[in-house]
Amino acid sequence: MQAKVVQHPNKVEIRLAVFDLWRLLHLQTFLVADANQRRTVVNRRRRELSRIHEQYDAVDARSLRRVEALDLDKQPVMDLTRRLAQARVTQEAGGQ
């Protein structure tokens, strides 16, 4: 079984998108932990947390742009690995 070769710019975009997702999860975990520590659903610490919310919004927007660049939003819910595997199977079936 031969793996599909992904072009270098796509690899970079995929790695950056994964990093953005990791960073979003980290920021979200921080916000939830802070809310749990204060025992409130709403965070009222506007000065300290506004920078965190701004970072979250910036990373979220960047992540969405990367998803659009990789055409991940145009398919039904299917991750990139499955799409590449499906393309490989389709290519092999067409070549035989």
Range of the domain at 30: 8-91
The answer to whether residue 33 is domain-embedded is yes
The pLDDT tens digits of the residues spanning 9-65 come to 777 888 888 898 899 889 888 888 877 887 776 656 656 677 878 888 899 899 888
The answer to whether residue 12 is domain-embedded is yes
Is residue 96's pLDDT more than 80? no
- Neighbouring CB atoms inside 10 A of 74's CB total 8
**How many independent structural domains does the chain possess?**
1
The answer to whether residue 16 is domain-embedded is yes
Q: Which among 90, 96, 95, 88 is positioned nearest to 5, based on CA atoms?
A: 88
The answer to whether residue 86 is domain-embedded is yes
pTM for this structure? Answer: 0.57
Q: How far apart are CA 61 and CA 39, in angstroms?
A: 29
pLDDT at 1: 47
The answer to whether residue 52 is domain-embedded is yes
Higher pLDDT, 43 or 87: 87
Q: How far apart are CA 35 and CA 30, in angstroms?
A: 9
pLDDT at 79: 67
Q: How far apart are CA 20 and CA 59, in angstroms?
A: 6
The answer to whether residue 67 is domain-embedded is yes
